[in-house]
């Protein structure tokens, strides 16, 4: 089985699906001839031609809006927003158009666009190459939000995203784009959207994470082997795998949620509310949130901003010692 990093896995998923389905079109800035600034679309234009792997004008709203038009017509566009931080010119198209099209047309017009976008900090990108904006999408009814943490899931989840009928915001953790390596079958497979993965079983405390924070959580678990933690990689933010989360909380009674995005109104807040609603009597301690701060993402002090393994360990101890 080949070893791939996340970029290679994404590339492999795109290539696999483009070979199967001629409705799949990739479009974005620098995605064609150049193969993308992170090389995720490398070689695709050579194989599928400039009509299906399209270098667009420099306009996120144009990329997303034309992708919406393509999807309405029956294609399966997979636009790339070069950085999640640059996606906001397309915000209206994502929130008011893409997300609502099926609903507002009474189910007449599905809009299956998969927006791929690298997100997150840790690459010395300042606040315009570091944001984790998943909460905006999760707060918008009609969007599925998928965030893989490793190459195997990246390929399987991207293939699954391109084979279902709803719009997907597919967020790729760029900090571990190349660092996260693993075995990826070169065969065709999917990972089900909406299913979390128990990375490590444990009985003392549940750690919930997604995207690059899964790696921070693993580091924390390795730093504190004396804590019998259960680590869950959520993999999908919308729809959340609530059953796996609640089953774990009922077992451990203690929860740490790790989220790179700012704290206020983030995914960790939603998870906390859901745990309160569904597993209140199982809780032995308040749910602990380890998050980015409610500040813009800083350039120099990025590591102080990002949740660290130490902060996760400290949060696990707070939960255990409550």
Note whether 73 binds other proteins by CB under 8 A. yes
Note whether 144 binds other proteins by CB under 8 A. yes
> Is 215 annotated in the active site?
no
User: Which of the residues 83 through 142 are near other proteins (CB under 8 A)?
Assistant: 89, 92-93, 96-97, 101-110, 141-142
Q: Which of 54/316 has CB closer to other proteins?
A: 54
Q: Which residues contact 253 (CB under 8 A, 6 or more apart)?
A: 282, 283, 284, 285
Q: Which of 97/134 has CB closer to other proteins?
A: 97
CA 75 to chain centre: 23
Q: Would you give the binding string for other proteins spanning residues 26-55, x where CB under 8 A is met?
A: -------------------------xx---
CA 132 to chain centre: 9
Among 44, 53, 75, 135, binds other proteins (CB under 8 A): 75
Cα torsion at 124, 290, 7, 161 (round to 10°)? -140
CA distance 51 to 44: 11
User: Which of the residues 238 through 267 are near other proteins (CB under 8 A)?
Assistant: 238-240, 242
Note whether 70 binds other proteins by CB under 8 A. yes
Cα torsion at 224, 226, 230, 235 (round to 10°)? 20
Note whether 56 binds other proteins by CB under 8 A. yes
User: Which of the residues 283 through 322 are near other proteins (CB under 8 A)?
Assistant: none
Nearest in space to 122 (alpha carbons), one of 174, 69, 193 = 174
Note whether 275 binds other proteins by CB under 8 A. no
Q: Which of 102/289 has CB closer to other proteins?
A: 102
Nearest in space to 1 (alpha carbons), one of 214, 225, 182 = 182
Note whether 192 binds other proteins by CB under 8 A. no
CA distance 283 to 106: 42
Strand partners, 205: 229
Among 30, 42, 61, 308, binds other proteins (CB under 8 A): 61
Going across the sheet that includes 229-233, the strands are 197-200, 229-233, 205-209, 255-262, 288-292
Q: Would you give the binding string for other proteins spanning residues 159-178, x where CB under 8 A is met?
A: -----xxx------------
Among 93, 127, 129, 215, the active-site one is 129
CA distance 172 to 192: 17
Judged by the rule CB under 8 A, the positions of this chain that interact with other proteins are 25, 51-52, 56-57, 59, 61-62, 65-75, 77, 89, 92-93, 96-97, 101-110, 141-142, 144, 164-166, 194, 238-240, 242
Residues with catalytic roles: 129
């Amino acid at each position: 089985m080949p070893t791939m990093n996340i970029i290679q896995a994404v590339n492999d998923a795109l290539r696999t699906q483009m070979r199967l389905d001629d409705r799949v079109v990739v479009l974005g800035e620098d995605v064609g001839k150049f193969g993308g600034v992170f090389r995720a679309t490398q070689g695709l234009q050579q194989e599928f031609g400039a009509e299906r792997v399209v270098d667009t004008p420099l306009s996120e709203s144009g990329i997303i809006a034309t992708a919406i038009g393509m999807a309405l017509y029956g294609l399966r566009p997979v636009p790339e927003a070069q950085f999640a931080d640059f996606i906001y010119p397309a915000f209206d198209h994502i929130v008011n158009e893409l997300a609502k099209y099926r609903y507002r047309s009474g189910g007449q017009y599905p809009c299956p666009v998969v927006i791929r976008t690298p997100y997150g900090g840790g690459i010395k990108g300042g606040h315009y190459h570091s944001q984790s904006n998943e909460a905006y999408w999760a707060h918008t009814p009609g969007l599925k939000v998928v965030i893989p943490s490793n190459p195997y899931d990246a390929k399987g989840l991207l293939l699954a995203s391109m084979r279902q009928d709803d719009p997907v915001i597919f967020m790729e953790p760029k900090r571990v784009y190349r660092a996260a390596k693993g075995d990826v079958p070169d065969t065709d497979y999917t990972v089900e959207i909406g299913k979390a993965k128990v990375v490590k079983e444990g009985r003392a405390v549940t750690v919930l994470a997604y995207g690059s924070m899964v790696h921070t959580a693993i580091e924390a678990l390795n730093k504190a082997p004396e804590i019998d933690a259960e680590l869950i990689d959520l993999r999908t933010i919308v729809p959340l795998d609530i059953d796996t989360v609640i089953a774990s909380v009922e077992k451990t009674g203690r929860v740490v949620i790790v989220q790179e995005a700012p704290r206020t109104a983030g995914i960790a807040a939603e998870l906390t509310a859901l745990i309160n609603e569904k597993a209140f009597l199982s809780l032995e301690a308040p749910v602990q949130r380890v998050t980015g701060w409610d500040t813009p993402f800083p350039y120099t002090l990025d590591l102080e901003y990002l949740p660290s393994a130490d902060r996760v360990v400290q949060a696990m101890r707070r939960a255990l010692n409550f």
